[in-house]
Structure 1
C-alpha cells in the first residue's frame, strides 16, 4: 500500500498489489486480521505518515478474501 492525496485533500492508504505506484510503500499481509491488528496498533499511520483513511485497503483485502473462497470451492 502507498499513501495518496485525493482531490479534496484527504490522505489515504491505497492498495498497490502490482507495486507500481509512486511513493513510499508499506507491506501488509492480505488478510483482515492483519489489517485489524495494524489499525489497532496504529502501524499504518507510523509507516505512512498522515494517512487518515484506510477504506481502499480494507475493500481490496475483502475482495481478495472473497476471491479465495470462490476459488477454494471449485
Structure 2
C-alpha cells in the first residue's frame, strides 16, 4: 500500500489568543494595516497574517498577551478596535 488516502488534509492554524490549533476555516485571519489589526474574513489581503477564533475571549487573550506584536513581527501596540467591532458583529448574528 502506498499510504495515500482519498481524504484531503484540512489546513490547520493556531489561534494567537488561546494557542489552540483549529481548521483554517474556523479561524479569522487578521492582517496589520498601518498599525491597526484589520479582519480578513476572505483571506485575500496582502501581508503577514495571524489567526484568531472569532470570539471576544480569544481576542482579549491575544491583546493581553501582546500576541499581535509577535505574529506581525513589528513594534506594537496594534490597535484592535476595528477587529473588536467585527467580532462583536459576528457574535450577534443569529445562526452562526
By how many angstroms is 1:71 displaced? 2.7
| Pairing 1:40-51 to 2, within 5 Å after superposition | 40-48=64-72, 49-51=74-76
- Gap runs ≥5 in structure 2: 1-29
Normalising by structure 1, we get a TM-score of: 0.79
Which structure is higher in strand share? Answer: 2
CA distance, structure 1, for counterparts of residue 83 and residue 44 of structure 2: 15
Normalising by structure 2, we get a TM-score of: 0.62
Which structure is higher in helix share? Answer: 1
Provide the aligned C-alpha RMSD in A.
Answer: 1.4
Q: Secondary structure at the match of 1:37?
A: helix
- Gap runs ≥5 in structure 1: 6-10
Q: In the comparison of the two structures, how many residue pairs are matched?
A: 65
Counterpart residue number, 2:33: 4
List, as ranges, runs of 4+ consecutive aligned residues in structure 1 with deviation greater than 3 Å: none
